[in-house]
Amino acid sequence: MTVSDEELLAAVRAGDTDSLGTLVLRWQEPLFRFVYRMLPQTEDARDICQETFLRVLKKAHRFREGSRFSTWMYQIALNLCRDRLRKRKRWKLVMSERREFDEQLATAGTALGADDDPARAAESREQGQAVLRALHEIPPEQREVLVLKEFEGLKFREIAELLGCPESTVKSRMYYGLNGMRTALSRRGIRR
């Protein structure tokens, strides 16, 4: 019988670090996938995943009974992502050049699989890159909702729980986020 995340965390609180190892094995892939989609760099995603698991260990005593471990873990990771994005924005003031989300841009538009026609494949990639750039132009609170909804497939109720805001707020951010993306794409000449 599978031990629940909450039971494993209770064991961690009691000093059983093997249970943390089990949690890491169980959640490392979905967590990395989530963080990678919030940030454009593999190295940053690795750092944040590592820091998230470390904080889970250090703050296990603060976990509220009755809460869901996954929501708590994602909240920790999300806060770390936000901190990293704020720092990156600040570095832009003093650094003349930074490679922004090159990795994601390189694979944008390939999610639907290979296209036999090279011209269409190239067009698909260019469009994908334009979409990802547009995604990073909208406000971060809207971008978070779009990523969680479109890339992670969470329900609005789950996103609301993760972000700690009402479901209506999540839907509103989704609505304005999609509109904002459309405006950004129109500026780039991407229209239906």
Partner 1 sequence: MSCPQWNEQWVAHLYGELETEEAGRLERHLETCVACREQLERLTESSRLLRRAAPVVPATPRWTVVEPRRGLSPAWAFVAGLACASVMFALGLFAAPRLDLTAGSGPEIATLDTARIVEDLDRQSAQQARLERRLNAFENRLGQPGASTVSGITEPELEARLDALARNFEDQRSADMRYLLGEITATEVRAGTWVDETRNALRFVALNNDPRFTER
Judged by the rule CB under 8 A, the positions of this chain that interact with partner 1 are: 15, 17, 20-21, 24-25, 28-29, 32-33, 36-37, 42-43, 46-47, 49-50, 53-54, 57-58, 90-91, 93-95, 103-105, 107-112, 124, 127-129, 131-132, 135, 146, 149-151, 155-156, 168, 171-172, 174-175, 178-179, 181-182, 185, 190, 192
Query: What are the tokens at 57?
Result: 């260990």
Say which residues have a Cβ less than 8 Å from residue 67's Cβ, sequence separation at least 6: none
**What phi-psi label fits residue 4: left (phi over 0), alpha (psi between -120 and 50 degrees) or beta?**
beta
Please check whether residue 102 is in contact with residue 40, taking contact to mean a CB–CB distance below 8 angstroms. yes
CB of 129 to partner 1, least distance (A): 8
User: What residues contact residue 158 under an 8 Å CB cut-off, 6+ apart?
Assistant: 71
CB of 117 to partner 1, least distance (A): 16
Nearer to partner 1, 33 or 187 (CB): 33
Shortest Å, Cβ 157 to partner 1: 8
Q: Which is nearer to partner 1, 68 or 146 (CB)?
A: 146
Closest approach, Cβ 149 to partner 1, in A, equals 7
Query: Taking the chain, what is the end-to-end CA distance rounded to the nearest angstrom?
Result: 50
d(CA 172, CA 24): 34
Write down the least CB distance from residue 138 to partner 1, Å.
Answer: 11
CA distances from 88 to 26, 39, 52, 104, 120 (A): 30, 10, 19, 17, 34
Question: What is the token pair recorded at 125?
Answer: 């990639």
Report residue 97 as tokens. Answer: 């050049």
Q: Which is nearer to partner 1, 1 or 112 (CB)?
A: 112
Task: Compare residues 1 and 97 and give the one whose CB is closer to partner 1.
Answer: 97
User: Taking the complex as a whole, how short is the minimal distance between the CB of residue 68 and partner 1, in angstroms?
Assistant: 19
Cβ closest to partner 1, residue 112 vs residue 119: 112
Amino acid letter, residue 53:
F
Cβ pair 48, 34 in contact under 8 A: no
**1 vs 117 by CB, closer to partner 1:** 117
